[in-house]
Amino acid sequence: MSDPTRLPEHGQATQDNAAAPTHGNGNGHDRHKESFWSRYVFSMDHKMIAKQYLVTGMIWAIIGAGFSVLFRLQLGYGDQTFPWMENILGHWAEGGRITPEAYYALITMHGTILIFFVLTAGLSGTFSNLLIPLQVGARDMASPFMNMLSYWVFFLASLVMLSSLFVQTGPAAGGWTSYPPLSALGDASIGSRIGMDLWLTSMALFVVSQLLAGLNYITTILNMRTKGMSLSRMPLTMWAFFFTATLGVLAFPVLLAGFILLLFDRHAGTSFYLGELFVAGKVLSNEGGSAILYQHLFWFLGHPEVYIVILPAMGIVSEVLAVSTRKPIFGYLAMVGSLFAIAGLSFLVWAHHMFVSGINPFLGSFFVLLTLMIAVPSAIKVFNWLATIWRGNMRFTPAALFSIGFVSTFISGGLTGIWLGNSSIDIHVHDTYFVIAHFHLVMGVSAIFGMFAGIYHWFPKMYGRYLNNTLGYIHFWISLVGAYLIFWPMHYQGLAGMPRRYYDFSNWQSFNQFTELNRFMSFITIIVFLVQLLFVFNFFYSIYKGRKVTTPNPWNATTLEWTTPVIPGHGNWPGEIPEVHRWAYDYSKGDRDFIPQTVPELPEEKAADRPHD
């Protein structure tokens, strides 16, 4: 029996990029010496750009999670003072207590940073850049220059957003959705002044960055696949990244238009979102506008954004589970079909965020139906993940554990979405802690767990070393248990009517029953934040001191990225690009543990009925 890990003679790729790039030979030894700036800063190598996205996203994650610790201290220990806080926040925490203005700024920036800068740019930007050329068999992205430009526009957006933290009036404080008229009137609050302008400018740049990146991802997947890499042979990660990019290209321009119109209302005297309003007893000159228009524009992106965040994690988890269980992914076609259904339906459910905005109940019933329908493809994916895990020869690596944790939080958080999708229930729990519990579990924690699974799994390919497993196990268990201890009790607070975004609940006798619970959740938040710092230490320490990878395929996986050298150079493969002969999930087949995609099919395999082809 031949060794299933042995690569066949490389087939000639049919794409123009089959030859090694002119600026490098693809094996890490470039024909001319690269400078520090061209190699690490203004690099056009998709793998280096992936690392840039990842490190930038990690920095933002620390800042955004740190903000959550600060406002949880207010919620849990509002009757106490913390003098050290004044040293950090200055006049925003005079006397050691966060001011109400600072509190609203913190929750605004926390949501903005985690949703857009970490879970959109950090997650999709990292793994789409890293994996798309490697898994479809391409030297690089379709446009390496546009790829580099997408990161630097994102970096510029990050600088603008970061600068808003240091202006005298503080950052934006209108919530991560920035609803008008609060965001449209500079005099509405201190957080509606220059900080809001910087927020809108940063988000406009962010959208441009994501459009540049998304067009590149789509073009590369459709046009630059190596010989034999048909659509039905692509790993599920590629399908997930493809649909994610498609959602972004179609939905982000709507949000960009909404932001530009909001800037016009703020500075050009227009009335897109401003109608007949009284401010401090004076009638505004604006008339004819509607704040509800902004809600439609925002949530037309806002709900696809949920899947822009979660679809890459779904693809990563599908890949990691197949590798970890040593089993073919269960229901490949159903998984692809459910990704397509989720992507399509995500454009048709935006108004379920607006059930309390005065929407016609008859019209709302259609959005209820469509919202419940989108649960079906999600349930299909959950069933297929569980079927893949069932009776698998599971290797409990940190990546596998985070994938299982993803499935757990996606189920528990997703089930509460059925409640919120029902307008008659949503009217009662809207803008309560029930909503916070739901979207933090299903969107925040699940997506972050998918991101962690991807980092632990592909870290050897990125840096040629392993992350420390012991620290990885500590990271997983504290993060999983902590996530449930923080967010699960919030369901009960929400059902009791406890509203979100409130600075202080001490004046409500009905909510005083949750005082000790709030302190407990705040304490767990600190612990979970500290364990994320442990992961950051593990990450950067392992880059230089981690155990070295000695084989190109340390996980015995089947996909193309593991056919490159341990640390692939710019161009990925030193010779011709491998030819693909089979699908991506030939595990435990016959007496062979795994069969790489580059191994030709035997005649009896070709004759067999292949449900995935």
Query: Is position 158 within any domain?
Result: no
The answer on 345 and 467 residing in a single domain is yes
Query: Is position 180 within any domain?
Result: no
What 172-175 contacts at long range (C-beta under 8 Å, 24+ apart), as own/partner pairs, is 172/105, 172/108, 172/109, 172/112, 172/196, 172/198, 172/199, 173/101, 173/104, 173/105, 173/108, 174/104, 174/108, 175/104, 175/107, 175/108, 175/111, 175/501
160-215 pLDDT, tens digit each: 999 999 999 999 999 999 999 999 998 888 999 999 999 999 999 999 999 999 99
Q: Out of 35-39, 544-548, 553-557, which region has the weakest mean confidence (pLDDT)?
A: 35-39
Q: Out of 198-212, 244-258, 580-594, which region has the weakest mean confidence (pLDDT)?
A: 580-594
Which residue range forms the structural domain that includes residue 588? 581-612
| Contact call for residues 135 and 560 (beta carbons, < 8 A) | yes
Query: Is position 605 within any domain?
Result: yes
The mean per-residue pLDDT over the stretch 268-275 comes to 91
Measure CA 277 to chain center: 38
Query: Is position 362 within any domain?
Result: yes
Return the CATH number at 488.
Answer: 1.20.210.10
The answer on 401 and 334 residing in a single domain is yes
Reduced to 3 states (helix: H, G, I; strand: E, B; else coil), residue 430 is coil
The answer on 452 and 319 residing in a single domain is yes
Q: Provide the β-strand partners of residue 452.
A: none
Query: Is position 498 within any domain?
Result: yes
Q: What's residue 462's pLDDT?
A: 95
Neighbours of 466 (CB within 10 A): 17
Confidence of residue 304 (pLDDT cuts 50, 70, 90): very high
The answer on 441 and 320 residing in a single domain is yes
Query: Is position 144 within any domain?
Result: no
Question: For residue 8, which of 599, 603, 607 has the smallest C-alpha distance?
Answer: 599
Query: Is position 442 within any domain?
Result: yes
Q: What's residue 606's pLDDT?
A: 65
Is pLDDT at 302 greater than 60 in this prediction? Answer: yes
The answer on 499 and 461 residing in a single domain is yes
The answer on 595 and 454 residing in a single domain is no
321-340 pLDDT, tens digit each: 999 999 999 999 999 999 99
The answer on 531 and 607 residing in a single domain is no
What single-letter amino acid sits at 246?
Answer: T
The answer on 470 and 345 residing in a single domain is yes
Work out how many domains the chain is built from and give that number.
2
Confidence of residue 440 (pLDDT cuts 50, 70, 90): very high
Q: What's residue 394's pLDDT?
A: 92
The answer on 606 and 458 residing in a single domain is no
**Alpha carbon distance 277, 285 (integer Å):** 8
Query: Is position 166 within any domain?
Result: no
Quote the mean pLDDT of the chain: 91
Cis peptide bond upstream of 377, omega within 30:
no
The answer on 457 and 410 residing in a single domain is yes
Q: Provide the β-strand partners of residue 278.
A: 283
Is pLDDT at 235 greater than 90 in this prediction? Answer: yes
Q: What's residue 32's pLDDT?
A: 52
Q: What's residue 90's pLDDT?
A: 87
Q: What's residue 381's pLDDT?
A: 96
The answer on 334 and 449 residing in a single domain is yes
The answer on 457 and 362 residing in a single domain is yes
Q: Provide the phi-psi class of 464: left if phi over 0, else alpha when psi is between -120 and 50, else beta.
A: left
